[in-house]
Amino acid sequence: MEATYYYVENGYTAHGDKIPDIPIIHLAVEVGRRRARGPAVVDTGFDEGVYPNIEVVELFRGIEPDKEVVLENPIHGSTWFEVYKAKTYLYGGGRFVEVGVVGVYVPKELELLTEEVLVDREFLNKLRVVLEPNKKLLRVRTVEA
């Protein structure tokens, strides 16, 4: 499966400088019979799988994490995360294409959550990703195992 997504404008800084546009995909995360979906920012700065927003975190209510880890946050220092495994999908045009199971890293301090979901290296390494910044396009293709 191949999909094309458009970059999203990210606005301006408080000083009036334009923030670079953001490459996004449309992600679905499935836990049991529950599923959350929406845009996710492509971010290779986080070394793990998916950094969720509160909607994704709600999928794990009442479920024990697979493990807990400490990761270094450049702003907040050492931060504890609960790690859950979840099925992930690309979606668009009414279709869901499975990408695979990845770790979802939920900070124990929920105030560290943002409105955005980030997909990171563990997730991206399951795809062939082509960024076309001049066209403001992101092309992804699932990789056959």
Domains of the chain: 26-126 (2.40.70)
pLDDT tens profile 59-79: 999 999 999 999 987 777 889
Q: What is the pLDDT of residue 37?
A: 94
Q: What is the pLDDT of residue 50?
A: 96
| Under 8 Å between Cβ of 50 and 105 | yes
- Three-state DSSP class for 19? coil
Q: Which segments in the chain show pLDDT lower than 70?
A: 144-145
Q: What is the pLDDT of residue 145?
A: 45
Sheet holding 127-132, edge to edge: 2-6, 137-142, 127-132
Neighbours of 94 (CB within 10 A): 5
Token duo for residue 91: 């979606």
